[in-house]
Amino acid sequence: MKLFFLSVGLLLNTVAWAADIAASGGWNRTITSGDLIAGAGTDLISQQESNTDATTLTITSTSGGAWRIKVRHTPGPWNNDLTLWIRRTSDGTGIGSISGGSGYIQVTTLDTEICAGTNDRSGISIQYKLSGLSKNVSPDSYLSSVLFTVE
């Protein structure tokens, strides 16, 4: 039986004179023999998804202005065959608007915009996906810290 463990941690960052961002939640996933395609001797299911609300973002102190959220990750112990993806699964609530990010976007070590909006918003749900799983990926604990930035 091969065991994989993925943990997505959260870091927050804000830009001076801009909105504030808060995140709650994250994703931990242990891959076990139950994730084999058809039992012993077969390959692993190649991708795993978190709950649709694994992380919740809140944007405040916007003074009614526009903002955009960027994301990047800092892999800890990591296997380069694995790819982390993210998408926005809800608009959250608030008087402003939000757009973009409803389809999966690859999370890399570079800032990538996932969505943009106006005014304060709360309850923006985020989902993760991990792809590249196979029996060729060494069993180990893999970790990535995800950094959300609002500008």
Q: How many domains does the chain have?
A: 1
Q: If we measure between CA atoms, which residue out of 104, 103, 98 comes closest to residue 123? A: 98
Q: What SS3 class is residue 34? A: helix
Q: What is the pLDDT of residues 91-133, one digit of tens each?
A: 999 998 999 999 999 999 999 999 999 999 999 999 999 999 8
Predicted TM-score of the model (pTM): 0.86
**151 residues of the chain, pLDDT tens digit each:** 334 444 555 444 444 446 899 999 999 988 887 888 887 778 788 899 999 999 999 999 999 999 999 999 988 898 899 999 999 999 999 998 999 999 999 999 999 999 999 999 999 999 999 999 888 888 888 888 999 999 9
Q: What is the pLDDT of residue 40?
A: 79
Cα–Cα distance, 13 to 139 (Å, whole number):
32
Question: Which residues constitute the domain of residue 88?
Answer: 4-150
